[in-house]
Structure 1
Amino acid sequence: MNSPITLDALKVLDAIERKKSFAAAADELFRVPSAVSYTVNKLEEDLGVELFDRSKRKAQLTPVGTMLIDQGRLILKATDELTRLAQQSANGWEAELRICIDSILLFKPIYALIAQFQQEYPWINIRVTEEVLGGTWDSLIADSTDLIIGATGESHNRDFNVQSLGEIDFVFAVAKDHPLVDEPVPISDRAIKQYSSIVVADSSRGLPSRSEGLLDGQSRITVPTVQKKIEAHLLGVGIGFLPVHRIQDELESGELVSLQLASYESRTNQLIMAWNKDNQGKALAWFIEKIQAISDKLI
């Protein structure tokens, strides 16, 4: 069934309500008043309802007319948004860009880029998610994100473009009042295995889970993010390796203490940014370029 409520009729009603006059609405719409009146009369006739109370000097809506305009404006807004989306899509701009940030990174520099992007392109939505270890790659493989930032390891997928963001260093760190602080250095495996290791849960759903820095037989406490791991270290709940760039302030203040271990060499990880080769979106290209320029601030 064809509805008598057309976009043109909704635009006429919207103009009348805002201008409080059929004549003023006609001026705004560049029409003669009789054409505006005809549109309203025809709509009332087709619907079988009165939209305006004609006993008043000014154009005053009936309750049904108020409801129709309130809902009609939502339709007009959605139509405008759909038109803009169609135009920006034709010009190579995405309706939404999905960014997955690995838990190991500092988010603030990326948020600053998002704020800059929104100033320039406020009509494009940004969706930010956080994953851990294999979960970051998993999100790209599953096509639930367009750009991953801070991934580690190899993608094993030739469909992805991969860009290095640099290396991060790890140190074995414990709270300032942890018993290991009083152990002779380098700290032995025997001493380490007395305490639980704080590990971050791999959020991967499709790839094999990964864990790092564990000794055989050592108990573990699993937490959801790197930030939660740092908090657990500070409380003395457990021990383990932490990325240096995330705990600089705590190391300088002495809240965390870096310890030398007997059986571990220094640890580094290569951080990666990756995206699907087929994705030619302009928003994606904007972020790739900007993130490359600030990669040193991420770590």
Structure 2
Amino acid sequence: MLNIEQLVAFVAAAEQGSFSAAARHLGKSQSSVSIGVNNLEVDLGVTLFDRSTKYPKLTPQGVRMLSQAKVLLRQAERIRNYSQSSVDNVEDILTIGIDPLLPFSIIESAIEKMSQRFPFTQLNVLRLSADSLTSAVSNNDVDLGFNIASDAVPEGLDFVSVGNVEWVCICSPDSMFADMPQVSNETLIGERQIACRSMVENAVLRAQGLFSQEVWRADDQEDVVKLVEQGIGWAVVPKDLMLEKKSMGTLIDFRPEFQRHEMLMSADVLWKSNAQLGPAAKYLCEILGAL
């Protein structure tokens, strides 16, 4: 049966160039490294090193074995790490719900850090409207919920702000709005507006950004952007969604009469008050709170 310590000695000797260098690298005696490699050769029935020169040199069998040994050691390390995660009660799956109004960019750096810290936790991402999102958190269907602040946070839920989302008005470069220094409220009311359904359902955003007498609705912000790109209407969207399209020349932002200052909305993360958040969920909340 393969012995992990023997594999470690073999890989170290191959990478460090000698048994003595491997011993220094591993903090062991040279004899223990040499014995480990010898025993591995006996167990496998092959010669891994040519010892006829001053420094041991891998044989053809040793070269092939080295790559396999590295794979086995990586797997062994993953097993050890996974076992430690189980001992620490790290979540196997972390489910988060995100309001369609929120661009993923507001949490993507935190998600990346969490994945590095907890590599064995699988992430399950759902897009849920505001009402569905709070219900999912309350019913333990979602561990963490991310939304745009609207009404008061429902009883039984805790929250922390994770930053502000800036909103801008956008249109196609071919739109009549494109060349206007400022678009009047009267003009906006008369032109078709494209809105995410969650925006229509959000009391604060609806009051600040819903102007037109004719409103087309879409469930997804990306669909809103695509409709505006086609010149079908104008929209109010998170600035992050507009920037790449603007650099490509398919969208522009314009200044409306009603928007005298930056339009900012707080983004919150929600969780059930009496829920026992796991280490990955806690870490994600800590990062986002710091951000």
| Aligned residue number for residue 5 of structure 1 | 2
d(CA) in 2 for partners of 1:32, 1:214: 79
What's the offset of the Cα at 1:67? Answer: 1.9
One of 71, 75, 80 as aligned partner of 2:72:
75
| Aligned residue number for residue 59 of structure 1 | 56
What's the offset of the Cα at 1:13? Answer: 0.5
| Aligned residue number for residue 229 of structure 1 | 224
Q: For residues 70-129 of structure 1, give each alpha carbon's deviation from its aligned partner in whole angstroms, at most 9, with x where no partner exists.
A: 2212222332343244335534555886655444235555355567x57xx953348778
Whether the 8 Å CA contact 2:49–2:58 is kept in 1: the answer is yes
| Aligned residue number for residue 279 of structure 2 | 282
What's the offset of the Cα at 1:17? Answer: 1.1
Greater Cα offset, 137-146 or 69-78: 137-146
Q: Does 1:105 align with 2:102?
A: yes
1:179 and 1:108, CA in 2 relative to 1: closer, same or farther beyond 3 A?
Answer: closer
Please give the residue correspondences for 1:114-153 in structure 2 after superposition, counting only pairs within 5 Å. Answer: 123-125=117-119, 132-134=127-129, 137=133, 146-150=143-147
Q: 3-state SS of the aligned residue for 2:147?
A: strand
Whether the 8 Å CA contact 2:90–2:280 is kept in 1: the answer is yes
1:109 and 1:176, CA in 2 relative to 1: closer, same or farther beyond 3 A?
Answer: same
d(CA) in 1 for partners of 2:13, 2:169: 70
Q: 3-state SS of the aligned residue for 1:148?
A: strand
One of 159, 163, 169 as aligned partner of 1:163:
159
Q: 3-state SS of the aligned residue for 1:16?
A: helix
1:44 and 1:36, CA in 2 relative to 1: closer, same or farther beyond 3 A?
Answer: same
Whether the 8 Å CA contact 2:185–2:256 is kept in 1: the answer is no
Q: Give the share of equivalent positions with the same residue, in percent.
A: 21
Whether the 8 Å CA contact 2:166–2:265 is kept in 1: the answer is yes
What's the offset of the Cα at 1:62? Answer: 1.6
d(CA) in 2 for partners of 1:65, 1:188: 74
| Aligned residue number for residue 209 of structure 1 | none
d(CA) in 2 for partners of 1:201, 1:55: 76
Q: Does 1:18 align with 2:12?
A: no
- What is the RMSD of the two structures over their aligned residues, measured on CA atoms? 5.4
Please give the residue correspondences for 1:22-61 in structure 2 after superposition, counting only pairs within 5 Å. Answer: 22-26=19-23, 28=26, 30-31=28-29, 33=31, 35-61=32-58
What's the offset of the Cα at 1:10? Answer: 0.3
What's the offset of the Cα at 1:167? Answer: 9.8
1:133 and 1:98, CA in 2 relative to 1: closer, same or farther beyond 3 A?
Answer: closer
Q: For residues 175-219 of structure 1, give each alpha carbon's deviation from its aligned partner in whole angstroms, at most 9, with x where no partner exists.
A: 686468999964698x55xx5x535488xxxxxxxxx97999x79
d(CA) in 2 for partners of 1:57, 1:245: 62
Give the number of the structure whose residues are more often helix, by fraction: 2
Q: 3-state SS of the aligned residue for 1:163?
A: strand
One of 234, 241, 246 as aligned partner of 1:239:
234
Whether the 8 Å CA contact 2:100–2:219 is kept in 1: the answer is no
d(CA) in 1 for partners of 2:188, 2:117: 57
TM-score normalised by the chain length of structure 2: 0.58
